[in-house]
Amino acid sequence: MTTANLRLDGKVAIVTGGAAGIGEAAVLAFARAGAKVVIADCDVKGGERVLGAVRAAGAEGFVVACDTSRASDVESLVRTRLDRFGRLDCAVNNAGIQGTIAPTAECTEENWDRIIAINLKGVWLCLKYEIEAMLRQGSGAIVNVASNFGIVGSRGMPAYSAAKHGVLGLTKTAAIEYAKSGIRVNAVCPGPTKTPMIGKILDAQPDLAAVIDGIEAVQPIGRMGESAEVAEAILWLCSDAASIAVGSILSADGGYVAQ
């Protein structure tokens, strides 16, 4: 493998949930690798902030308001990108929510439906329209952002874990369906990761700092991951350096699921 294999010069990428956290880090990794990046997010203001960093890196991009649980939004997202850049080389289906934490018997139907709609249906909708675009050009790489809780269960997160397990099933299915069409579909499974969401939770509930300490204590590497570390894994899966990776489930969790 050479450094050149990690370059994405001239390629076009979409990152959903690109206005913060892992999505933002992925956007910036693609920009630094030479790609043109479409930042898709409900938070347009946050997307514009990230776009400023993309341009500062010397890359081209734009922001599209998108609710990935709505087919019309996702179809419009892909169409807008095609109108602007004419092709789609890479897609990172990262948009997702945690939802309310509660045991299975206490999870509300509203909470279940919202989490499944965004975290699972949203990934399927993205795959549907991204694959259609990539089939027309005969190539492409897609990375679905799942979770370590797509591999193992998590107390208090039944809908989230179910959705992320579903994302891995979608990944494997789409991967074997379209591999011979030149489209690679893979997934990355982050573990506990430092994102703005964690900061907001601690600001609102400082007593949860001990919980965070507990999470870090059970990590084999002794700390939470950084968004940029997960982004590098995503970049690799989308690059030519990962040309043999098809249907792969890459854990980027500091060893959590290896225990």
Instruction: Point out the residues that are catalytic.
Output: 160
Check if the beta carbon of residue 226 is closer than 8 Å to that of residue 255: no
CA distance 141 to 138: 11
Of the candidates 142, 137, 139, the residue with the CA atom closest to the CA atom of residue 173: 142
The one-letter amino acid at 227:
S
Of the candidates 259, 189, 190, 258, the residue with the CA atom closest to the CA atom of residue 224: 190
Q: Where are the alpha helices (DSSP H) in 117-222?
A: 122-137, 158-178, 196-204, 209-217
Check if the beta carbon of residue 141 is closer than 8 Å to that of residue 31: no
Strand order in the sheet with 90-93: 61-65, 36-41, 12-16, 90-93, 140-145, 183-190, 249-252
CA-to-CA dists, residue 123 to 34, 145, 213, 235, angstroms: 25, 9, 31, 18
Q: Can you tell me whether residue 141 is helix, strand or coil?
A: strand
